[in-house]
Amino acid sequence: MNPALESLLADADLCVKCGLCSPHCPTYRQTADENESPRGRIALIQGWATGRLSLTAALRGPLDDCLLCRNCEAVCPAKVPYSRLVDRFRAETGQRRKPLAARALSSAVRKGLRHPTLAKLGRRMLDVAGRLPAGAAWKSLPPSGNPESWYGDHPAAGDPLAHAGLFLGCTAAVADAATVTAILGLLPRLGVGLSVPRNQVCCGAMDLHAGDAATAHALMSRNIEVFGERPLDAVIGFASGCSATLLEYRCHSETRAAETLSSKVQDVSRFLADRIPEERWDLAPLEARILVHHPCSLRNVCKTESSVETLLRRIPGAEVKTLPVKGRCCGAAGSYMIEHRRMAEAIRTETVDAILAQSPDYLVTSNIGCALHLRAGLQGRADIPVIHPVQLLARLQRV
């Protein structure tokens, strides 16, 4: 057996098949199919790696259906590195046994988002094809951003507290310009200088989860080089999926530079909660019910969900609540909501029902994929603004 498969099996053999993870798995909750549970998928990987099972479409399907939400890792008593296990299986098997349509769609999504011209074309296509899971949501987005105004240095106003790098990710210009604008306006006012490197690239998460480890590692190396060149107190991410990936660069590269970058990465809400003294906040009152949705990546990898509530509770007059456990995973999972439309929408229904039961005035989430997916699910059912927490804070900060 080759060393790669031996290592894969070593991770898989940590699973004792106790099943404690199953109730927390979004796909198992929908199907009650053991193959669609974490322990079921691990058993399939073990069967394939030992040669007892062939790589068929039937075996591949459940492993491609996984959202990699990592809810299972959060409750696993054996600490099975489930995400690493699935990523490595996908890397070993590549695109084999995937339907042609699925391969084409996956490639189009990943390549399109990394090229602004293609991304804008893709946005127009989604506007027309509202039948796609995110299509309806894109129609309500503000105009695409202008990255040219973002790049470079943004000095702190007054007495500087810190100087941070801002990681944009590959969806900012086409899908999340409002959050970038809010960050570039708010943080310098609070005393944080920002550097936005022009030559940063996608974090690599989509390629990693699609089984293209070579492309993912090339993107990671580029970002390690770009941000490593600068004397920064922190590297801030505002899409929790990107922040989670950057935090784990140290797991994909054993270099000192990768370790240094990962050690500096913080989700923007964590950075603001930890670094900005209370006296620098001057938030206007807002008599509103704010419901917080925590993306899986923020809870299970970044582990900084409490920072969002800490910040929002500083808003005078606001009532802040967290979405109940039942609605934790929304089904977006990056490009999953496009590549696995039916499952993504089925999972989202549970989340949207939980949101409507709370009757909020605002829904706050720290991931653009979750925002798009939930915005689409709410359309036609309720007029609830879905925004990033920093957008709300930027609107209310008076100083």
24-36 confidence digits (pLDDT tens)? 999 999 999 999 9
Q: Residue 332 pLDDT > 70, yes or no? A: yes
Res. 97 pLDDT band, cuts 50 70 90:
low
Sheet holding 386-387, edge to edge: 319-322, 289-293, 362-365, 386-387
Lowest mean pLDDT segment, chosen from 22-26, 143-147, 175-179: 143-147
Q: What pLDDT shows up at residue 161?
A: 95
Q: What pLDDT shows up at residue 130?
A: 45
Q: Residue 135 pLDDT > 50, yes or no? A: no
CA atoms within 13 A on the CB side of 242: 24
Contacts of 184 (CB under 8 A, 6+ apart): 150, 154, 166, 194, 196
287-312 pLDDT, tens digit each? 999 999 999 999 999 999 999 999 99
Tokens found for residue 301? 């990898």
Q: Residue 129 pLDDT > 50, yes or no? A: no
Q: What pLDDT shows up at residue 296?
A: 95
CB atoms within 10 A of CB 170: 24
Share of the chain above pLDDT 90, in %: 76
Lowest mean pLDDT segment, chosen from 113-117, 327-331, 339-343: 113-117
Residues 384, 387: Cα–Cα separation, whole Å: 10
Q: Residue 40 pLDDT > 80, yes or no? A: yes
Could you give the C-alpha distances from 156 to 100, 161, 397, in angstroms and in order? 50, 8, 16
Tokens found for residue 135? 């299509």
> Judging by DSSP bridges, how do beta strands 289-293 and 192-196 pair with one another?
unpaired
Residues 359, 365: Cα–Cα separation, whole Å: 16
Looking at every residue in the chain, the average pLDDT score rounds to 90
